[in-house]
Amino acid sequence: MRVLITGTQGFVGLHLAQALRRVCGDATIIATGKTPGEHPLLGAVSALDVTDPNAVKVEITRYQPTHVVNLAGLAAPAVAASDPKTAWQVHVQGVLNLASAILDEAPQCWLFNVGSGLVYGDSAKPGLPLDETALLAPVDEYAVTKAAADLALGALTRRGLRSIRFRPFNHFGPGQAETFVIPAFAMQIAQIEVGLAEPIIRVGNLDAERDFLDVRDVVNAYALAVRSADTMQAPGIILNIASGTPQRIGDILEQLLGQSRVAITVEQDPARLRPSDLPRILGDATRARRTLGWAPAHTFDDTLAAVLDDCRARVLATARSRRA
């Protein structure tokens, strides 16, 4: 088993490497990223720009992977909105480049594409759990590019592509960037606790409800799929990865504030309010549970506390480095 990972250097990549080591212990893992570097678990990371079709073909030919897990992508909707051209290049053309190279050079290889639960978009308006049969109705650049790649891969299964299309819902954990809501709250609290910021958190819409999972549970689903793909008999299958439990953003903030070591005031900032917010986005992962034998193993409360502790450690490390 030879597993090539794209986007290894991102937040999810580190956790996926750990999951693959645990679930597929004898696998050879080939780490690639936008730039060459070192991975804390995998060692050298080879440069691979998925938007370069020639480079992708060279790497697929060279390594002859049995599985490719595509993590390459823009990290958040806000990033895609600010650079839509890159979003289309990476999320759509990059996926097509991988699929084409696999079909031409390693046709027995499985492509695991990491999409997003946000592809359901307006289908979430009724507030009910969404399974894989829900209509794709994306509402922003990030989601529409993820949906386009998802649909393209579905068509390519007719040409013999062996793929699994993942639609993970919100996932979080220690080390995640502050462009995401939970680490953004936690980092502000950590900075306030040591006097680096005034004791005020300015917020947008706190009534939205989202489906959050520990990132370790998400990558465990990917690793289980790598281990069992050849027995699934379902090329092109779509799998939601979700908790099925809604978490109100305001309640998450209150829980974090309850763990703060200082008093903090919350103020609503009109500039942060987004009128397009869907009130509730909730996933149904029954198919993943049934197909992979997967289930979340980490509680929301424990992961939330771990994120706050991680942000505190990062703030202290930054403060010490400035004093050195």
Mean pLDDT of 183-196: 96
User: Which residues, in sequence order, are CB contacts of 18 under 8 Å at separation 6+?
Assistant: 41, 216, 219
Which three-class secondary structure state does DSSP give residue 18? helix
Mean pLDDT of 55-81: 95
The pLDDT of residue 168 is 98
Mean pLDDT of 46-72: 97
Instruction: Check if the beta carbon of residue 50 is closer than 8 Å to that of residue 97.
Output: yes
Residue 153 has pLDDT above 80, yes or no: yes
Identity at 237, one-letter amino acid code: I
Confidence of residue 27 (pLDDT cuts 50, 70, 90): confident
CA dihedral 113, 117, 119, 120 (to 10 degrees): 140
CB atoms within 10 A of CB 230: 13
Which token pair is 69?
């897990």
170-172 and 110-114 strand pairing: unpaired
C-alpha 113/C-alpha 212 separation (Å) is 20
C-alpha 19/C-alpha 292 separation (Å) is 14
Q: What is the DSSP letter of 135?
A: P
CA-closest candidate to residue 186, choices 14, 62, 312? 312
Residue 112 has pLDDT above 90, yes or no: yes
End-to-end CA distance of the chain: 46
Instruction: Check if the beta carbon of residue 239 is closer than 8 Å to that of residue 288.
Output: yes
Confidence of residue 304 (pLDDT cuts 50, 70, 90): very high
Confidence of residue 25 (pLDDT cuts 50, 70, 90): confident
Residue 324 has pLDDT above 70, yes or no: no
Mean pLDDT of 293-313: 97
Query: 136 phi and psi, to 5 degrees?
Result: -75, 120
C-alpha 270/C-alpha 189 separation (Å) is 21
Q: Which domains does the chain have, with CATH numbers?
A: 2-172+214-241 (3.40.50.720), 181-209+246-280+299-323 (3.90.25.10)
Which three-class secondary structure state does DSSP give residue 13? helix
Across the chain, mean pLDDT equals 93
Crossing angle for the helix pair 300-323 and 249-258, to the nearest 10 degrees:
60
The pLDDT of residue 275 is 56
C-alpha 303/C-alpha 104 separation (Å) is 42
Mean pLDDT of 183-195: 96
Instruction: Check if the beta carbon of residue 72 is closer than 8 Å to that of residue 50.
Output: yes
Confidence of residue 166 (pLDDT cuts 50, 70, 90): very high
C-alpha 229/C-alpha 22 separation (Å) is 17
Hey, which bits of 34-161 come out as E strands? 37-39, 43-47, 67-70, 110-114
pTM of the model: 0.94
The pLDDT of residue 274 is 65
Helix/strand/coil percent split, the chain, to 5? 50, 20, 35
Instruction: Check if the beta carbon of residue 45 is closer than 8 Å to that of residue 8.
Output: yes
pLDDT tens by residue, 216-258: 999 999 999 999 998 876 788 999 999 999 999 999 999 999 9
C-alpha 270/C-alpha 81 separation (Å) is 19
The pLDDT of residue 89 is 98
Residue 130 has pLDDT above 80, yes or no: yes
Positive or negative, the CA dihedral 193, 196, 199, 200 is negative
Mean pLDDT of 103-126: 97
Instruction: Check if the beta carbon of residue 242 is closer than 8 Å to that of residue 117.
Output: yes
